[in-house]
Chains A and B, each alone.
Chain A
Amino acid sequence: QLQLQESGSGLVKPSQTLSLTCAVSGGSISSGGYSWSWIRQPPGKGLEWIGYIYHSGSTYYNPSLKSRVTISVDRSKNQFSLKLSSVTAADTAVYYCARGDRTVTTYWFDPWGQGTLVTVSS
Chain B
Amino acid sequence: SYELTQPLSVSVALGQTARITCGGNNIGSKNVHWYQQKPGQAPVLVIYRDSNRPSGIPERFSGSNSGNTATLTISRAQAGDEADYYCQVWDSQGVFGGGTKLTVL
Contacts and interface: CB of A to CB of B under 8 A. Distances in A.
A109 B96 CA distance: 11
A115 B42 contact: yes
Contact of B96 (A48, A103, A111, A114): A48
Interface in A67-122: 96, 101, 103, 105-115
B31 A112 contact: no
A17 to B, nearest CB: 22
A49 B49 contact: no
B30 A106 contact: yes
B42 A62 contact: no
B48 A105 contact: no
Nearest to B86: A47
B88 A108 contact: yes
Q: Which of A37, A48, A113 has the most CB of B within 10 A?
A: A48
* Interface residue range, chain A: 20 to 34
* Interface residue range, chain B: 20 to 34
A110 B86 CA distance: 14
Nearest to B29: A105
Given A47-B43, A47-B86, A115-B42, A110 B94 contact: no
Q: Which of B42, B43, B48 has the most CB of A within 10 A?
A: B42
B23 interface: no
Contacts of A109: 33, 35, 43, 45, 88, 94
B48 A96 contact: no
Contacts of A48: 96
A113 to B, nearest CB: 6
Interface of B: 30-31, 33, 35, 41-45, 48-49, 54, 86, 88-90, 93-99
Interface of A: 37, 39, 46-49, 60, 62-63, 96, 101, 103, 105-115
Given A47-B99, A109-B43, 17 more contacts: A37-B94, A47-B88, A47-B96, A48-B96, A49-B93, A49-B94, A103-B31, A106-B33, A106-B89, A106-B90, A108-B31, A108-B49, A108-B90, A109-B35, A110-B48, A113-B42, A114-B42
